[in-house]
Amino acid sequence: MQGFAMETPMMDTSQPDRYENILHLITLWQDFEKEHERTGENRQARLEEFSVWMQQRLQERRKNNDSTTDPIQHAMAIRTALAVDNGTISHQPTDADGMISILLGRMGRYAKLYTKKALDGQLVASIDEFVLLAAIIQYERTQGEPTKSEVYSATLTETTTGSEIMRRLEKSGLVEEYADTKDKRMKRVRLTPRGKEAFFQTAQQMGAASHIIAGSLTNAQKEEFIYLLTLLDTFHSKIYTEHRTESFTDIEVHATGQREHKIS
C-alpha cells in the first residue's frame, strides 16, 4: 500500500476531469447569481440557497427525462435532500463525514439489490451464506479448516446470526461439521462436494454483480478506492474486534484516540 500511495501519476490522470467539474460549478454559480439578481434581492447570494437551486434544477431535468445527471448536481442534490428538518429544507449542509456515511450506506443498498438478483435460483440463497462459504474456503487455504467461531470472526458476524446461517448451510447439505482429528472436543467445518460446486457456480454470478457495482470507475480509480477503503477497514477493524461490546460513548473515545495517534 505504501508503494501505491507514492504513485503520483495515477492521481494526475483525474486532473482534467476535476478542473472541468470546477469550471462547470463556477458556471452554474454564475447562472444562479444572475437569477438571484433578477429577483431584485439586494443581499449577496448564499451557498445554502445555491444548494436548493441545484436541487430544483435537477428535479426539472428529471421531469424532462434527461438521464445525463451531472456528478456535481447529483452530489449536491443528495446533500440538500438529506438536510431535512420537519419537512423543510434545513440550512445546515451535510459535512464530509456525514456524506461518507451516507454514500457508503447507499452503495450498500445498491450492492444488496444486485447481489440479491444474482443469487436468484442459486443453491446459495443469500449474500450472508456466500460470505460464510467464501470464508471457510479462504481459511482452509491459508490456515486449515476452521471452527465455526473462526468463520464468524473472519466475517464480522455475530455468533447468534452466524449460527442461524450455518444451520441453513448444513441443512442444505453445503457444509458439514466434524470433530478435529487432534482434539475430538473441537468441531470444525468444511464445504461438502455439493457445497463446493454450489459456491463456485455462485461465485461467477457474484463476480458479474461486482462488475456492475464497480460502475464506470477506471482501473486507477478502483485501486485508489480500494486503498482508501482499506484505510477505513484498518481503522474500524481494531474498534470492532476490541470494543464492539462497549457503549457508544466509549467507542467514540477509542475512535478519537486512534485518530489522534494517527495524526501524531
122 with 209, same domain? Answer: yes
Q: Does 121 reside within a domain?
A: yes
Q: Do 197 and 140 share a structural domain?
A: yes
Residue 24 has pLDDT above 80, yes or no: no
Tens digits of residue pLDDT in 223-239:
999 999 999 999 999 89
On whether both 182 and 239 belong to a single domain, the answer is: no
- Give the residue carrying C-alpha cell 431584485: 40
In a shared domain, residues 179 and 257: no
Looking at the fold, whether 8 and 27 belong to one and the same domain comes out as yes
Give domain status of residue 189, yes or no. Answer: yes
Domain that holds residue 67: 2-94
Residues 243 and 192 both lie in one domain: no
- Final residue in a domain of this structure, among 94, 124, 146: 94
**pLDDT, the chain, mean:** 80
Reported confidence tier of residue 89, pLDDT bands at 50, 70, 90: very low
First to last CA, the chain: 20
CA distances from 65 to 2, 25, 69, 110, 134 (A): 45, 22, 10, 22, 42
**At which of 73, 94, 115 does a domain end?**
94
Strands 175-179 and 88-89: unpaired
Domain for residue 100, yes or no?
no
Q: Which amino acid is at 131?
A: V
How far is the C-alpha of 99 from the C-alpha of 103, rounded, in Å? 6
CB-based contact 214:206 (threshold 8 Å): no
Instruction: Give the CATH number, domain containing residue 111.
Output: 1.10.10.10
pLDDT band for 88, please (50, 70, 90 cuts).
very low
Domain boundary among 193, 214, 235: 214
128 and 89 in a common domain: no
Co-location of 220 and 210 in the same domain? no
Same domain? 155 vs 251: no
pLDDT digits (tens, 9 = 90+) for 127-144: 999 999 999 999 988 888
What was the pLDDT predicted at 259? 86
Task: Please indicate, yes or no, whether residues 50 and 140 belong to a single structural domain of this protein.
Answer: no
**Which long-range CB contacts under 8 A does 14-22 form with residues at least 24 apart?**
14/220, 14/221, 21/71, 21/72
CA distance 199 to 219: 27
Q: What is the value of pTM for the model shown?
A: 0.62
Q: How many domains does the chain have?
A: 3
Residue 184 lies in a domain: yes
Q: Which helix (H) or strand (E) holds 188?
A: strand 187-191
C-alpha cell at 57: 434544477
Nearest to 223 by CA among 232, 211, 214: 214
| Domain match, 11 and 90 both | yes
Whether residue 88 sits in one domain with residue 77 = yes
Read out DSSP for 117-171?
A: HHTTT-SS-SHHHHHHHHHHHHHHHHH-SPBHHHHHHHTT--HHHHHHHHHHHHH
Which of 18-27, 76-85, 205-214 has the highest mean predicted lDDT (pLDDT)?
A: 205-214
Q: Tell me: the pLDDT tens digits for 39-67?
A: 666 566 677 777 777 777 766 665 554 44
**Is 99 part of a structural domain of the chain?**
no
- What phi-psi label fits residue 246: left (phi over 0), alpha (psi between -120 and 50 degrees) or beta? beta
